Amino acid sequence: MIKALLIILAILHINLAFAQTNPQETQSLTPIPKKEILEILDPPGTAALNIMLGALSSFKALKKSEQDSLENTKSLVRMKILPFIDLKTSAKITLKDHWNKLDLLQKQLFIDYISHSLIKDYVGMLHSYEKLDLVEISLHKKIKRRDNKAIVRLEVKPNADAKPILITLKMIRDKRWKIYDVVFSGVSVIKNYRAQFNSHIKRKGLESLIKKTIKKLNKQ
């Protein structure tokens, strides 16, 4: 009986000691915030940087081989940049309140229009750099993320002596991170399209804008 009691007291003593030391051990392990875990496992900044560096690297190779014609550059943009742009989200935000008034074919029309416009813009941007080997792209430390959306800033230096140009990429994630808007020199590409569309709609209506967009696409 006494032996059994001693065993019980010994077990209680061990459990008490464990209960006293265990909280100290767990307190030393600071939990990692969910936001930081997401940044580590699925960083939008890395995705944005890889998209831009990949396109730049491919264009450098194209130019080095003297194959940087307008058509070849357009093809490069289609392969290296467009797959990483969420064109549907871009078009939806651009049309805003008018988006739900469109049928599927009309929605696709504006998606195609934005696609062609972005190809033109990116081709112009790539051809604007005379000395591509001197161009540097780096990730700005300040990244904002909330759920499946993120705002990533990249610094582009045309050469070592030039002042960095800040480019803001607005991104959204479905199966992977994609860009849906670019802000350059304080000007949002999507807001620029929206202003143009709204101006036409106010003057001539949505149907007129649809017809005008069809004509523009047919000319391209």
Q: Which CATH number covers residue 202?
A: 3.10.450.710
Evaluate if residue 147 carries a pLDDT over 70. yes
Residue 98 lies in a domain: yes
Amino acid type, 45:
G
Residue 16 lies in a domain: no
Residue 11 lies in a domain: no
First-to-last alpha carbon distance for the chain, in angstroms, is 97
Evaluate if residue 210 carries a pLDDT over 70. yes
Provide DSSP, 93-129.
HHHGGGGGGS-HHHHHHHHHHHHHHHHHHHHHHHHH-
Task: Count how many domains the chain has.
Answer: 1
Residue 90 pLDDT = 96
Residue 185 pLDDT = 82
User: What digits encode the pLDDT tens for the residues 90-134?
Assistant: 999 999 999 999 999 999 999 999 999 999 888 888 888 777 788
Residue 169 pLDDT = 95
Rounded to two decimals, what is the model's pTM? 0.77
Residue 177 lies in a domain: yes
Residue 142 pLDDT = 81
Query: Which structural domain range is residue 177 located in?
Result: 34-219
Residue 132 pLDDT = 78
- Section 203-214 average pLDDT: 96
Of the candidates 166, 160, 167, 165, the one whose C-alpha atom is nearest the C-alpha of residue 182 is: 167
Residue 1 lies in a domain: no
- Section 34-63 average pLDDT: 80
Lowest mean pLDDT among 14-18, 159-163, 182-186: 14-18
User: What digits encode the pLDDT tens for the residues 156-179?
Assistant: 888 888 888 899 999 999 889 999
Q: What percent of the chain has pLDDT over 90?
A: 56
Contact assessment for residue 192 and residue 171, using Cβ atoms and an 8 Å cutoff:
no
Evaluate if residue 76 carries a pLDDT over 50. yes
Residue 212, burial from CB neighbour count under 10 angstroms (0-12, 13-18, 19+): middle
Evaluate if residue 74 carries a pLDDT over 70. yes
